[in-house]
Structure 1
C-alpha cells in the first residue's frame, strides 16, 4: 500500500500529530498542515494570500484512513453546496483517528438573517462594487471579484449542521456561537469527535 501525500508530509517533517487546516488561504497556522487548492489572485479582496504546505483539493484528502488527529475548517464549509459538504464530512470522518476532532467555524444562517435585519440600513463593508451590509455578504460570499471559489453556496443553521454531524457518526463536543476566528454571535463554532 502506498503512503498518502499527507502522511508522507507528516513523516518527512517529524510531526507527532496530523492536524489539518483545510482551506488555509492567507491564514496558515503553526503546528498544522496548511492545505489549500487555490493560489492567491491579485483581484481577490476576500483573502490576504494563499499560504499552504500542500496544494490539494480538500474534497478528496490524500491521507490514510484513521490517521488524522484534527481537521480545522475556518470559514470554508459555506463555499460548498450542501450535498457536497455532507460527502466531505463523511470522508473526513474516515480520515480521522478514533478520538480525532473536526473543528468547524462558519456563518450561522439564523444569526446572519438577524444581523442583516438589524443592520440592513447600515452598510458596513466596502467592495469594488460599492458598500454593502456585512450580514448580506454572508449569504452569498464574495460576489464581486469574479472568483467562483469565493462565493458562498450554502449557509447552515447550527442545529442542522450538528444533526448532520451526528448522523455521520460524530459526537458533538461543543456547539456555540462563540466564534474563535471571525464574528462572535454571528458565526457558529462546532467541535465533533470521532469516538
Structure 2
C-alpha cells in the first residue's frame, strides 16, 4: 500500500478523527484529576486546621519563606508550597473560609489589573471580620531614596523597590520583577473600593530586610473584611 492509499484508507474510516477525539478525552481526564488532587490537598489542610480549632491563615506568594501555622501558597512548584495555586484567584478556597491572609512582597510583582482581581478574591475568601495584611515597597519612599544626591546605596535600593532585585530576577526568573508600585494612599483607595474597612498603616514585620533596617523603605497595610 503506497502512502496515498494509506491516507485515503485513514480518511475513509475516520481513524484520524477518532484518534484526536480519544486524545482530547485523555487530556480532559488528566486535567480533571489534577484539579481533584488539588482540591483534596486543600481540603486536607483545611480539615487539619479546623480539626485543631486553629485559625485558617493563608500566606500568599510564600516563595521560599514558608511560615509554620500558615497554609503557604505559591504558583511556582519549585518552592514546594503547601498548596500550588494562583494567588490572584485562590481557586482551591471557598468563600468566607479564612481568618487571615498575608501578602508579603507579592503585589509589586503583579500588574495593576491582576492586583485588583487578587483583592476581590481575597475579600471573597476571608471570613467576616477577617484580616488582610499587605507588605510591599512604599513607592513614595522609593522615589525619595532615588532623589538622594550622595548615597549611591540608597539610590540603588530605591530602584530595587520600584523595578525589583536584579539578583532575585536572575535566580528565580522574570516573575520576580516588579510590575506596579503602591503607596499607602493608593492602597487604601483600592481596598476601600473592594469593601475592606478599618484600613490602616502599621509597623512592618519584615524588619530583617536591609532596606528597612537602614532606610525604612517598605510599608505594611492592615484591612478588615
User: TM-score, normalising length from structure 2?
Assistant: 0.71
* Stretches of 4+ aligned residues off by more than 6 angstroms: none
Between the aligned partners of 1:71 and 1:110, the Cα distance in structure 2 is 25
Bigger radius of gyration: 2
Q: In the superposition, relative to structure 1, how do residues 8 and 39 fare at CA in structure 2: closer, same or farther (>3 Å)?
A: closer
Which residue of structure 2 aligns with residue 186 of structure 1?
A: 217
Which residue of structure 1 aligns with residue 115 of structure 2?
A: 85
Q: In the superposition, relative to structure 1, how do residues 12 and 152 fare at CA in structure 2: closer, same or farther (>3 Å)?
A: same
Structure number with greater CO (CA < 8 Å, separation at least 6) is 1
1:158 maps to 2:191: no
| Secondary structure class of the residue paired with 1:133 | helix
Root mean square deviation of aligned Cα: 2.4
- Structure 1 gaps, min length 5: 41-49, 125-131
Between the aligned partners of 1:96 and 1:120, the Cα distance in structure 2 is 45
User: TM-score, normalising length from structure 1?
Assistant: 0.81
The C-alpha deviation readout for 1:144-195, integer Å capped at 9, x for no partner, is 517121000001111011111011110134214x22114263111111100x
1:112 maps to 2:142: yes
What are the residue-to-residue correspondences of 1:41-190 with 2, within 5 Å?
Answer: 50-61=79-90, 62-118=92-148, 121-123=151-153, 133-143=156-166, 145=170, 147-176=173-202, 178-181=203-206, 182=209, 183=212, 185-190=216-221
Q: In the superposition, relative to structure 1, how do residues 105 and 99 fare at CA in structure 2: closer, same or farther (>3 Å)?
A: same
- Structure 2 gaps, min length 5: 1-35
Q: CA deviation at 1:8?
A: 3.6
Aligned length: 176
